[in-house]
Amino acid sequence: MSMELLSAFDFIDRDDFVHRLDPRTKLFLVIVYLTLLIMFRQYIVHLILLGNLIIWILLARMVKRVIKSIRGMAFIIFFIIFFNTLFSPSKGLNLGIQMTLRLVNIIMAFSIFFQTTHPDDLTQAIAKMGVSYPIAFSFSLAFRFIPTLANEVETITKAQKSRGLVLQKGGLFQQIRSLFPLLIPLITNSIKRAFYVAESLEARSFGIQKTRTQLHPVRLRFADWAIFVFLLVLLAAGIVAKIYQPQLEVFAIFTFEIPL
Amino acid sequence: MNSSPSNPKDQIITKNLSFVYESVYKANRDEITTVMNKEGVKPSDNPKIDKFKALNLINLSIRQGKFIAMVGDTGSGKSTLVRTFNGLIPSFYRGIFFGYVGVFGKDTIQEKISNLSRDVGLVFQNPENQLVAMTVEREIAFGLENLGVERDIIQDKITQILEYLGISHLRMRHPYELSGGEQQRVAIASILTLEPKVIILDEPTASLDPQAAESVLNLLEKLNKDKKITIIIIEHRLEVILPYCTEIIIVQNGQVLQHASTQEVLNSDLLYSTDVRVPKYIQLFKNLKSNKKYSGTIPTTIEQAAHNIRELLL
Amino acid sequence: MRNIRFENVGFQYSNEFTALSNISLNIQNGEVLGIMGRNGAGKSTLIQMMNGLLKPTEGNVFFDGITTNDYDASKLVQKIGIVFQNPEHQLFSSTVEEELNFSLKNLQISKDLKAQYKDEIIKELNLQSLLHKSPWNCSGGERKKVSLACILCRKPEVLVFDEPTLGQDKSGYKILDNIIHKAKERKQTIIVVTHNTEFAYHYLDRLVVLDNGRILADGPTGEILTNSTIHENSSLIEPQFFKFKKKMIENNLPDNEVFKLIVQAKSFNEVEKIIQNSMGEISQ
């Protein structure tokens, strides 16, 4: 279950509208969504936001992967709805469903961001927002080495098991202790690797000058600005709605809930 | 190695090079400073400091265009020595540095690593540890990007180098997906963009299977012959490297035991006194020579060995 | 009795990469066997299925007649000890002695017996001087020794080595040689994953060659190492002595007594002896 969920945040190399958007645009999407989702818990808002996301998902041709990751969340979703209903029979179901919608929205938004943003592009975007390039680059490096580290963890685990390491036996404390033979080699090898990487960067003049060329530069284009404006309007509408919500009857539709 | 008066701008030269790693110094600071204060002598001259030195009074001159094998026991100082050639020592790995290292006329204490790396490229044993980008293309572009070279020029260079190394089909692949031999080629490609005069490889074939190893060595030979790039390979498997190298440097206990042509090294006793495994077919000839049953050249390949024996018997 | 059997075994990783398919193999007690093949052919996957670190996704692996699925994991890992390639993936304690202690900790034997095993391995591999050293301060060769000790001290019934000759110099090789000879004396099953055809030629009786997850060849070492088609497909290099002999008898065979003796020799040492005996001293 957790692997399916985690795979929602892997970068998928494709060439479509969403992929070609600047990372900053997609980052703004996430920020706007986070803000609106925190401000509101009403169905109508979540459903509108979800609807918008579905358009994005279709554009990025991510449908199959999204369904897979929702399957990965199935257990959590059931958990949320079940326990909310249990503890508060009258309002619980609504609360549960709203929490679920919120969760799904956030995960979908982040998912879109990570699946369509190349780590190198993200690095560039972060650098353009003022962070020094070497620091921004460390994000890229982290992504680059994820499969390497995953592989190394597996090898270390197997090697230690061959020497008699037993995992997942005994009380919590013992289980944690049994992780040391895994963590320590992982950490020391990572530190060693960090030195090699640093040597490799130094030897290729990394960080020597402020302006470096980018083989694939990220640029804000018309589509980016258009979406940026759209998101801004969405955010503004949300803020306005929140302020005037109690007064305006029209917005009674906001308080639609499942009658129990 | 005898040196006729030659231009230092053409060589890598070390004079009385000694080095103590900072970590070693810190761990033994009391002992070292006591000796230095008491004896009032320069620590580089004091044998009591010797045990702390990773490199001890190394004098070398490496001429341009050679294919050199650097051999020696594990922990003898080979990796440390080559890192003095591109300035990683002493600019990145700090410590007490004695003596002088000149790389094509540049003093490694004064010059930046990035500058020295334009002349001397270093490739590590496990190429995965030096590939930093997510595609081969970006990896090869990396050095030139850092130097601010224009995009068009970078694109051209990438295409050129990919073709030269026969890996054009790998352009958009993630380094993690590549085989060891392919990774090694990408690592070499990424430093070739900087057009170095020297390429140093630290056990490049260690994690490769025999065919991949041969393929990489053939590539290095091509670079040496075509582009006159000096190749220095740290390798402990003589049978792999002997068919290619014209000179051998033996490093032991932080010192250069011998630096001579392949034949000279194979004929002298020094190599055989180290912990380096000498292939049996070479040991055979050395023994025959010692017993005065043979006076020809010591072969570096099996073909030569068979040939020399046939000659001997006829 | 103590034999390892693969019955139509296949293994597929979670990312749908098929590492092994259709592997059927029978390893009798006491066999000295090599597993060779290109990098990525499935050698490491194969041995990891022997002690249950990996369970087959198809077919069954049997040890002593029981499938690895049915074995208690820690017991199986003790019976079949794999020495992994890279000591840096294992070392984590403050001293070498503690590494040994850790390796013995989970064995289901008495404290006294553990102490005995520990003493025995220290003697056998000459580890006295290293005991109080930190593994990080040990040289590469010393670390390899320690990682060997960590498996050998558990006295497994079957010994499996993953690329034991990598990075070894003369002294390291001697230690390996010693260990293999002792294991052969004890008639233990020995399995070695290696690229090193020299090593295979000298120590191993039978070779299994993998190619792309399948068994390309399985037979006596001599046969496999002289078959050039196998070499092409599995990145093997002919052992030096075989190549030497081939080159010697190429083209015209000289009609020469010494030559004929050499052609029948079994090792470079023999060839050297022959020449030493037949040649007078040359004036230099």
Mutate to test the interface with A, among B94, B103, B114 (most CBs of A within 10 A): B114
Do C84 and A159 make contact, defined as CB atoms within 8 angstroms? yes
Do B129 and A209 make contact, defined as CB atoms within 8 angstroms? no
Q: Cα B147 vs. chain centroid, distance in angstroms?
A: 25
Give the separation between CA A227 and CA B117, rounded to whole angstroms: 45
Smallest CA–CA distance, residue A84 to chain B, in Å, is 44
pLDDT, mean over chain B: 90
Q: How do residues A17-59 score in pLDDT, each as one tens digit?
A: 888 889 999 999 999 999 988 888 777 778 888 888 888 888 8
CATH code, residues C4-237: 3.40.50.300
Residue type, B258: Q
Mutate to test the interface with B, among C13, C235, C242 (most CBs of B within 10 A): C235
Report chain B residues touching chain C, CB-CB < 8 A: 73-75, 179-180, 203, 206-212, 214, 236, 239, 275-277, 279-281, 283-284, 287-288, 291-295, 302-303, 305-307, 309-310, 312-314
Structure token pair of residue C114: 């553990």
Structure token pair of residue C8: 């139509």
Cα–Cα separations (whole angstroms), residue C56 to A33, C12, C53: 45, 8, 10
**Domains in chain C: boundaries:** 4-237, 249-279
Q: How do residues B240-279 score in pLDDT, each as one tens digit?
A: 999 999 999 999 999 999 999 999 999 999 999 998 999 9
Residue whose token pair is 């015209």: C252
Structure token pair of residue B51: 């045990």
- The closest CB to that of C88, out of A158, A163, A189, belongs to A189
- The closest CB to that of C39, out of B180, B280, B307, belongs to B180
The helices-and-strands tally (H runs, E runs) of chain C is 12, 10
Q: Residue B119: CB partners within 8 Å, gap ≥ 6? A: B86, B103, B104, B106, B196, B197, B198
pLDDT of residue A114: 86
* Residue A246 binned pLDDT confidence (cut-offs 50, 70, 90): low
Q: How do residues B148-205 score in pLDDT, each as one tens digit?
A: 999 999 999 999 999 999 999 999 998 888 988 899 999 999 999 999 999 999 999 8
Decide: helix, strand or coil at residue C38: coil
Q: Write out the E strands in chain C.
A: 4-12, 18-27, 32-37, 58-63, 66-67, 80-83, 158-162, 189-193, 206-211, 214-220
CB of A119 within 8 Å of a chain B CB? The answer is: yes
* Nearest chain B residue to C270, by CA: B284
Give the separation between CA B312 and CA B285, rounded to whole angstroms: 11
Residues of chain C with Cβ-Cβ distance to B180 below 8 Å are 39
Residue whose token pair is 């050998």: C152
- The closest CB to that of B146, out of A141, A143, A208, belongs to A208
Which segment of A6-10, B115-119, B250-254 scores lowest on mean pLDDT?
A: A6-10
* Residue C284 binned pLDDT confidence (cut-offs 50, 70, 90): very low
Residue whose token pair is 């093949």: C37
pLDDT of residue A88: 78
Residue whose token pair is 């996301």: A53
Q: How do residues B282-296 score in pLDDT, each as one tens digit?
A: 999 999 999 888 888
Give the separation between CA B278 and CA B239, rounded to whole angstroms: 8
Is pLDDT at A250 greater than 60 in this prediction? no
- The closest CB to that of B288, out of C38, C243, C276, belongs to C276
Residues of chain C with Cβ-Cβ distance to B279 below 8 Å are 240
Do A147 and B137 make contact, defined as CB atoms within 8 angstroms? no
Smallest CA–CA distance, residue C2 to chain B, in Å, is 31
ipTM surpasses 0.85: yes
- The closest CB to that of C235, out of B211, B276, B279, belongs to B211
Q: How do residues A91-125 score in pLDDT, each as one tens digit?
A: 777 788 888 888 888 888 888 888 888 888 888 89
Backbone angles phi, psi at B120, to 5 degrees: -125, 115
CB C186 within 8 A of CB C218: no
